[in-house]
Amino acid sequence: MYFITLSSLVIALFFTACTSVPLPVQKQPKIAIAFGGGAAKGFAHIGVIKILEQNGIKPTIITGTSAGSVIGSLYASGLSGIQIQQIAMSLNEDDLTDYTFSSAGVVKGEALQNFINKEVGNLPIEKLVIPFGAVATNKETGEAAVFRSGNTGQAVRASASIPNVFQPVKIGKNTYVDGGLVQPVPVEAAKNMGADVIIAIDISAKPTKGTKGFWATIDQSINIMNQVALNKQLKMADVVIHPNIDNIGSLSFEQRHQAIFEGEKAAIAALPAIKKAIRDSYLTKP
């Protein structure tokens, strides 16, 4: 026989009532990485990815412009920083540059498109592991276009089509060129995709004086792109990572190790700010 006192019954009812009230659940902030453009200096992005991964910082949103869309698409496909580095180490300039004689541009861009599609397993953007946006510029309107579905390689090709170097890319009824004209570092695209914390990687350093060759031309083209647009994008970021790549110019393919190393160093220096931004986002989110 069991004896239940009035006081014990009240206590039991109290705890039952308490447990039936749902407690507020703190949502994890959506972390985005916005990979900026900068031609072959984009190897620095790989170093940043490696350090963030080592510290358990994983994005739920990825955006990329030009070279940043190349690295960003590979990362969004599920490849790790180490895997992307392995791909980069075996990459040759000729793998991405299919030269042609045309007033529209000396590089067709088909090689780049095919390379990306091969490395991401021919997945369309909407099927990538992490939501991804490739930023290009509508040639007719001058407005930003953020590709979030469709042919991944084609979107990256459009994003990286530097005017007068790469041929413009026709997608649907519109023609597109390099996204660096409107969002050199695609922070705005990440914000529009719902990011709470945005980590921007700016690799737009000027090339070394006296550098010559194809990639030097690209460096110069990127350097004269809209600086106002760059400043606008960086102001919207929570943390900006600036790899020290001032001395990496036209020989960037040969200096890929150095670029990756500089990305690692810059990411390590930015870790306290990144962790604080994530922590602060937890405190402010309902």
137, 162 Cβ separation under 8 angstroms:
no
Structure tokens at 275: 């962790």
Would residue 8 show up in a list of annotated catalytic residues for this protein?
no
CA 16, chain centre distance (Å) = 48
119, 86 Cβ separation under 8 angstroms:
no
The catalytically annotated residue of 66, 77, 204, 250 is 66
Burial 170-206 (b: 16+ CB within 10 A, else e): ebeeebbbbbbbbbbbbbbbbbebebbbbbbbbbbbe
At 133, give phi and psi (nearest 5°).
-130, 120
User: Alpha helix locations (H) across 108-192?
Assistant: 110-119, 152-159, 187-192
The catalytically annotated residue of 178, 196, 202, 219 is 178
Identify which of 144, 182, 164, 139 has the alpha carbon closest to the alpha carbon of residue 221: 164
User: What do you get for the CA distance between the two ends of the chain, in Å?
Assistant: 48
Structure tokens at 12: 């039991």
Would residue 66 show up in a list of annotated catalytic residues for this protein?
yes
239, 22 Cβ separation under 8 angstroms:
no
Residues classed as catalytic: 66, 178
